[in-house]
């Protein structure tokens, strides 16, 4: 277990122990989601996908790193599946071929080629091997990804799955390519859109002279800088030596990666705990009348949130969806039109499958970039509207409802919206029975993925129907004309059919999710005051002693947080 992983888990357990001593409402403590955070910290993994074109040498490089040919090489694109490489103790080597419902079939290590023949049955593979290098790089887990030329359904499935899960990418291109292809640029743009980092390898250097390799390396570095505004060192390798990959993996800091997954969630959790305890202390020092007025004010705040939520849900299509959908479809069509020369070249030289893959790739990347931007803007507007609806509460109360309280809620929600590596969100998605324990906000990129993935699946099914006889002719002029007059307009029409409903659904989901965050914070404050008021009314214990306990507990939690997350 990582040091940061243990520290985070132990910190939360200590916080839980201290909260247990306080007389807080059980529902309030449960809403903090501490147990679920601990579960997420225990279960989150650091996946390192290895991506590149088919035959760029991904499997050969990984085999070289492992020191043994575990992964089949020279396989056809149709047999490729994403393969997670995990450590197993001697005698426990196995393959888990995971289905879409996350159940799996077991195979022996030597049956990996057999799985490729029935790849369409599975989502990805977990390969458990007794290998010291795999053990040494733990908790990093290498993922051998399908090549770009793999069947559209497998490739799209893997890309959408691991864009969300990957924490660092190993990107591999062949020296034979001579230049970074537009396809590779789009893959890098998608990685960048999801705010992931990557290392860049230039494979098969033994096929060119040292001078050519150096020139190509410099060209790639220049192209990465020009296209992505990033300074990256391109690492030349041949596929017989895995040491360069070993150095890169060894240089990755898993502690820093893991901290980045949880630090914002832990800070937000700390601020929520502090707010609850401070509210309890304040309420214990006030009169019955003051507390009752505070509760009334908070109830007014809840009504304001609910009213604003209902208004926004009713206005979602007109206010948020229509204009954004029009812009997204227009920009996607433009991305296809801007790539017309590339599409014609692929169609005339590489055939139907490559053409379909390129179209799908262009559409996917355009949708990711545009939907992500739209949802980020919409999310901020929604937060602003809820904040505005609560802005008058500080004038209705003389105790704890302040602009600072509302501002902290808004800032915390905006941070959650922009979270790109939420281990907690992934746990909630797979552990559905735990959703009632904690309501976490849906991130902007999660919303984007929820829209893009099903649309691309539709496009993949739809493409053969609009290509038909066009691709059989293989005439450049005819294909260019068909792209402009038939294929791109048909894709736009299909987007027009599919996108509005999905977009509106996700906007409504975002409104509800943000609303729940505001409601939860206000409800927790209200319940804390009510609990404190009952303490005073029933004289359960000495109030001064109770206040001292709350203050001491807050001081202890502050000290724990300072040592661990600040």
Q: Are strands 168-174 and 94-98 parallel, antiparallel or unpaired?
A: unpaired
Phi, psi at residue 199, to the nearest 5°?
-115, 145
Contacts of 73 (CB under 8 A, 6+ apart): 59, 60, 63
- Measured CA to CA, the distance from residue 76 to residue 383 in angstroms comes to 49
Asked if 377 and 327 touch (Cβ cutoff 8 Å), the reply is no
Q: Tell me: pLDDT of 79 over 70.
A: no
Decide: helix, strand or coil at residue 19: helix
What pLDDT, on the 0 to 100 scale, is given for residue 470?
Answer: 63
Contacts of 285 (CB under 8 A, 6+ apart): 547
Q: Are strands 83-87 and 140-144 parallel, antiparallel or unpaired?
A: antiparallel
Q: Tell me: pLDDT of 230 over 80.
A: yes
Helical axes 340-349 vs 322-338, angle rounded to 10° = 60
Asked if 187 and 228 touch (Cβ cutoff 8 Å), the reply is no
At 26, the pLDDT band (50, 70, 90 cuts) reads: confident
- Measured CA to CA, the distance from residue 549 to residue 551 in angstroms comes to 5
Q: What does the block give as tokens for 248?
A: 């890169």
Closest CA to 536 of 30, 20, 23, 28: 23
- Strand order, beta sheet including 83-87: 104-107, 94-98, 124-129, 83-87, 140-144, 46-52, 168-174, 197-203, 234-236
Over residues 122-145, the pLDDT tens digits come to 889 999 999 999 999 999 999 998
Q: Tell me: pLDDT of 471 over 70.
A: no
Asked if 16 and 269 touch (Cβ cutoff 8 Å), the reply is no
200 DSSP β-pair partners: 171, 234
At 168, the pLDDT band (50, 70, 90 cuts) reads: very high
Q: Tell me: pLDDT of 487 over 80.
A: yes
Asked if 283 and 294 touch (Cβ cutoff 8 Å), the reply is yes
Decide: helix, strand or coil at residue 501: helix
Asked if 360 and 456 touch (Cβ cutoff 8 Å), the reply is yes
At 432, the pLDDT band (50, 70, 90 cuts) reads: very low
Q: Across the chain, how many H-helices and E-strands are there?
A: 21, 9
- E-strand ranges in 175-297 read 197-203, 234-236
Q: What does the block give as tokens for 323?
A: 């204009």
- Measured CA to CA, the distance from residue 99 to residue 88 in angstroms comes to 21
Q: Tell me: pLDDT of 427 over 70.
A: no
- Measured CA to CA, the distance from residue 47 to residue 64 in angstroms comes to 19
- Measured CA to CA, the distance from residue 86 to residue 481 in angstroms comes to 49
The conformational region for residue 71 under phi > 0 = left, psi -120 to 50 = alpha, else beta, is beta
What pLDDT, on the 0 to 100 scale, is given for residue 503?
Answer: 94
Q: Tell me: pLDDT of 396 over 90.
A: no
Alpha carbon distances (Å) from 8 to 3, 141, 165, 275, 424: 9, 21, 20, 21, 13
Contacts of 363 (CB under 8 A, 6+ apart): 332, 335, 336, 455, 456, 459, 491
Contacts of 185 (CB under 8 A, 6+ apart): 223, 227, 228
What pLDDT, on the 0 to 100 scale, is given for residue 493?
Answer: 93
Decide: helix, strand or coil at residue 394: helix
Closest CA to 65 of 173, 137, 160, 167: 137
Phi, psi at residue 2, to the nearest 5°?
-65, 150
% of residues, the chain, pLDDT over 90: 41
Which whole number is the average pLDDT over 57-83?
A: 80
- Measured CA to CA, the distance from residue 346 to residue 357 in angstroms comes to 10
pTM of the predicted protein model: 0.83
The angle subtended at Cα 190 by Cα 262 and Cα 2, nearest 5°, is 25
Q: Tell me: pLDDT of 18 over 70.
A: yes
Residues in the chain: 566
Asked if 142 and 58 touch (Cβ cutoff 8 Å), the reply is no
Which whole number is the average pLDDT over 104-122?
A: 87
What pLDDT, on the 0 to 100 scale, is given for residue 121?
Answer: 87
Residue 462 host element (H or E): helix 444-473
Q: What does the block give as tokens for 303?
A: 């009504």
- Measured CA to CA, the distance from residue 530 to residue 280 in angstroms comes to 9
Instruction: Give the alpha-carbon dihedral of 19, 23, 27, 33, to 10 degrees.
Output: -10
- Measured CA to CA, the distance from residue 163 to residue 157 in angstroms comes to 10
Asked if 85 and 144 touch (Cβ cutoff 8 Å), the reply is yes
ω into residue 374 within 30 of 0, thus cis? no
Residue whose token pair is 């931007």: 373
């Amino acid at each position: 277990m990582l040091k940061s992983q243990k520290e985070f888990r132990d910190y939360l357990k200590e916080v839980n122990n201290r909260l247990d001593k306080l007389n807080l409402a059980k529902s309030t403590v449960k809403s903090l989601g501490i147990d679920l955070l601990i579960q997420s910290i225990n279960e989150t993994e650091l996946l390192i996908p290895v991506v590149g074109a088919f035959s760029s040498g991904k499997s050969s490089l990984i085999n070289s790193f492992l020191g043994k040919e575990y992964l089949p090489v020279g396989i056809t694109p149709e047999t490729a599946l994403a393969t997670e490489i995990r450590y197993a103790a001697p005698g426990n080597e196995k393959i888990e071929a995971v289905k879409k419902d996350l159940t799996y079939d077991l195979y022996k290590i030597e049956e990996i080629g057999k799985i490729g023949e029935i790849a369409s049955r599975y989502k990805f593979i977990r390969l458990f091997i007794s290998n010291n290098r795999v053990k040494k790089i733990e908790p990093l887990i290498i993922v051998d990804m399908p090549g770009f030329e793999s069947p559209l359904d497998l490739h799209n499935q893997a890309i959408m799955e691991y864009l969300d899960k990957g924490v660092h990418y190993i990107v591999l291109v062949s020296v034979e390519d001579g230049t970074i292809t537009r396809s590779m640029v789009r893959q890098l743009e998608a990685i960048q859109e999801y705010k992931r980092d990557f290392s860049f390898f230039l494979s098969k250097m033994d096929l060119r002279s040292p001078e050519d390799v150096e020139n190509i390396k410099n060209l790639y570095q220049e192209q990465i800088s020009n296209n992505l505004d990033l300074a990256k060192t391109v690492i030349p390798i041949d596929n017989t030596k895995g040491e360069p990959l070993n150095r890169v993996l060894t240089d990755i800091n898993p502690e820093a990666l893991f901290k980045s997954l949880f630090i914002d969630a832990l800070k937000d959790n700390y601020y929520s705990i502090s707010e609850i305890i401070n509210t309890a202390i304040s309420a214990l020092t006030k009169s019955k009348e003051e507390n009752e007025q505070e509760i009334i004010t908070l109830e007014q705040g809840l009504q304001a949130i609910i009213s604003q939520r209902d208004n926004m849900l009713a206005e979602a299509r007109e206010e948020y969806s229509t204009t954004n959908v029009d812009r997204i479809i227009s920009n996607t069509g433009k991305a296809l039109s801007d790539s017309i020369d590339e599409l014609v070249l692929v169609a005339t030289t590489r055939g139907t499958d490559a053409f379909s893959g390129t179209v799908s790739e262009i559409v996917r990347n355009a949708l990711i970039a545009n939907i992500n931007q739209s949802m980020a803007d919409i999310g901020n507007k929604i937060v602003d509207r809820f904040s505005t609806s609560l802005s008058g509460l500080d004038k209705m109360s003389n105790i704890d409802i302040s602009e600072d309280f509302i501002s902290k809620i808004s800032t915390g929600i905006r941070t959650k919206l922009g979270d790109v590596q939420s281990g907690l969100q992934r746990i909630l998605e797979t552990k559905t029975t735990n959703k009632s324990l904690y309501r976490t906000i849906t991130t902007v990129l999660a919303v984007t993925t929820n829209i893009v993935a099903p649309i691309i699946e539709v496009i993949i099914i739809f493409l053969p129907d609009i290509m038909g006889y066009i691709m059989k002719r293989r005439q450049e002029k005819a294909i260019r004309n068909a792209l402009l007059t038939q294929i791109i307009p048909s894709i736009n029409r299909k987007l027009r059919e599919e996108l509005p409903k999905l977009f509106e659904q996700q906007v409504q989901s975002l409104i509800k999710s943000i609303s729940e965050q505001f409601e939860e914070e206000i409800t927790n404050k209200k319940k804390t005051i009510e609990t404190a008021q009952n303490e005073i009314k029933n004289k359960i214990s000495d109030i001064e002693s109770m206040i001292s306990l709350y203050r001491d507990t807050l001081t202890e939690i502050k000290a724990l947080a300072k040592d661990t997350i600040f």
